[in-house]
Amino acid sequence: DPLPVPVAGLREAIGRAAGMLICTPEYAGTLPGSFKNLLDWTVGGVEIGDKPVGWVNAAAPGRGEGAEATLRSVLGYTGARVVDAACVKVPVERGMTGEDGLIADPEVRRRLGEVLALLAADDPA
């Protein structure tokens, strides 16, 4: 059966990317259901295979382990190359964003920049 058009588009975009940075909160001890479903549609494809992947867990302090464990498990089925140094917890709490919805907190911005640099510098050799 052919893939639904949105799924084919997602896989095509992933295939063109040099790597992936995922940012997710935790919901009820795991990934949000809609996001988990999106990742499930990538299982069985070759688009993520061996691409460097990192994530920012934006869960509140003291939470997030369930989301990280689920994310690592699903990515294992895709063949992604998880860059551990680019997998961090950066809690984003109310008040850390500006009126435009973008992160305004300078420390959070600095940490996100570090994650992007680590992911971009990943060399599997």
Residue 54 confidence (pLDDT): 95
Query: pLDDT per residue over 63-122, tens digit each?
Result: 889 999 999 999 999 999 999 999 999 888 888 888 998 989 899 899 999 999 999 998
Question: What's the CA gap between 64 and 32, in Å, rounded?
Answer: 11
Class of domain 5-120: alpha beta
Query: pLDDT per residue over 9-42, tens digit each?
Result: 999 999 999 999 999 888 899 999 999 999 999 9
Query: pLDDT per residue over 41-51, tens digit each?
Result: 999 889 998 89
pTM of the model: 0.83
DSSP string, the chain: -PPPHHHHHHHHHHHH-S-EEEEE--BTTB--HHHHHHHHTTTT-SSSTT-EEEEEE-PPTT--HHHHHHHHHHHHHHT-EEEEEEEEE----TTSB-TTSSB--HHHHHHHHHHHHHHHT----
The domain limits of the chain are 5-120
Position 62 confidence tier, pLDDT thresholds 50, 70, 90: confident
Question: What's the CA gap between 35 and 56, in Å, rounded?
Answer: 14
